[in-house]
Amino acid sequence: MEIDKRMTLKEAVAKFIHDGDTVYYGGFQIMVPMALTYEMIRQKKRHLTTLQASTDVGGLDLLVGAGCVNEMHTAWTMNWYVKAVYCMRRAFQNGHLKRYDISNFGATTAMIAGFMGVPFMPIRGNTGCDMMTNNKADLRIIDDPFTGEKTTVVRAWRADVAIIHAQKVDRLGNVIAWGTRGVTDEFGANGAKRGVIVTAEEIVEPEMTRSDPDRTIVPYFKTLAVVHCPYGAHPSACRGYYGLDIRFAQYLGKYQRHADLLSAFLDEWVYGCEDHAAFIEKYKSKFGQEGLDRLKPVLGFKPKFEVDYGYHDPAVWKGVPLYMDDRLQAAEEALAKKKGGK
């Protein structure tokens, strides 16, 4: 039975993200789930643990600064445009945040292990560095059961729920994404125990997702909620729709730098906006429509070079006799005679 999973941002977060959850935080330096970040802050989600390989533009930092997160497992977190994550730094120094660092490959391997349903996975990396001392929550050394050699293993990461942003999704929950996706979105999102909340620039018909399965990163049966959310990754980029808003990433980062100003940003841009559409309207009223116009992709919505993937219909073989030659015919007849003799 087909289930229409469309709902509002507010409904999705209220229904599927609970206090104390472990959340896979999607995206990389593009397609960061910012609209979902703001909504989690609005709803004052608390005591969250986050899993992610790498993330940029300060979304996760804001989630920490708002008091939503008290534990994170990560390889790299940054607002590159101010060269720091100030909220995390303060929370860690004040003892309000547990942070477990791991390499990018270690984080990716942890996601793959969670996706595969195995408890841990061996890796060559991380061995010999101080991560082995500082992150016993994720990294251990065991004896290889086959050779006895000391081997580093990483714990499987499985979130309760995943949050991601993508270009397109259908109402059933089949998610289409392209470009430099988060290195672990396919694994981290699909490995989530309860499923995935996805915001997307467009909601398309299922016929479209079925016609382009190579770009489908999350299948419908893993998706909990589908939210139509234009500019849902802003200020990070979403390939084919908008580029990186460097100025707003810097603007956000400077508010994060000053602990006494952070609440003013939250009051104006998060609590002061009913939803993400209101956030975008506030952006236009403060920085002008031209601020968004600068983000438009140079080549529009189409790829630079279009590819015709083609389609082959097996029906062309209907009525065509089997290929045969004299040698094969003789062998087939001998085999049939032998079987008939039995």
Name residue 175's beta-bridge partners.
169, 218
On whether the CB atoms of residues 26 and 182 are closer than 8 A, the answer is yes
The per-residue pLDDT for range 142-182, each reduced to its tens digit, is 999 999 999 999 999 999 999 999 999 999 999 999 887 65
How many CB atoms are closer than 10 A to CB 100? 18
Q: How far apart are CA 74 and CA 328, in angstroms?
A: 61
Q: Is 200 helix (H, G, I), strand (E, B) or coil?
A: strand
Is pLDDT of 259 > 70? yes
Is pLDDT of 231 > 70? yes
Check residue 128 and give its pLDDT. Answer: 82
Confidence label for 56 from pLDDT (cuts 50, 70 and 90): confident
The 3-class secondary structure across 54-104, one letter per residue, is EECCCHHHHHHHCCCEEEEEEEEECECCCCECHHHHHHHHCCCCEEEECCH
Per DSSP, 9 falls in state H
The per-residue pLDDT for range 180-216, each reduced to its tens digit, is 765 679 999 999 999 999 999 999 999 999 888 888 9
On whether the CB atoms of residues 160 and 188 are closer than 8 A, the answer is no
Cα→Cα distances 231→5, 54, 104, 236, 296, Å: 20, 20, 27, 9, 11
Q: How far apart are CA 215 and CA 203, in angstroms?
A: 15
Give, rounded to a whole angstrom, the gap between the first and last alpha carbons of the chain: 49
The model's pTM is 0.90
Is pLDDT of 221 > 60? yes
**Locus of tokens 């065509």:** 320
Highest-confidence range of 35-39, 58-62, 295-299, by mean pLDDT? 35-39
Torsion of CA 166, 82, 72, 277, to 10 degrees: -40
174 in the Ramachandran plot: left (φ > 0), alpha (ψ -120 to 50) or beta?
Answer: beta
Q: How far apart are CA 273 and CA 120, in angstroms?
A: 42
Per DSSP, 220 falls in state G
Q: Is 276 helix (H, G, I), strand (E, B) or coil?
A: helix
Q: State what percent of residues in the chain have pLDDT above 70.
A: 95
**Locus of tokens 């200020």:** 235
Domains of the chain are: 9-119+156-293 (3.40.1080.10)
- Residue 202's closest CA among 238, 236, 162? 238
Is pLDDT of 224 > 70? yes
Is pLDDT of 301 > 60? no
Torsion of CA 33, 34, 36, 37, to 10 degrees: 120
Task: Give the mean pLDDT of 112-128.
Answer: 92
Cβ density class 238-266: b for 16+ within 10 Å, e for less:
bbbbbbbbeebbbbbbebbbeeeebeebb
Check residue 235 and give its pLDDT. Answer: 96
**Locus of tokens 């997702």:** 209
Report angle CA 193, 198, 201 to the nearest 5 degrees: 165
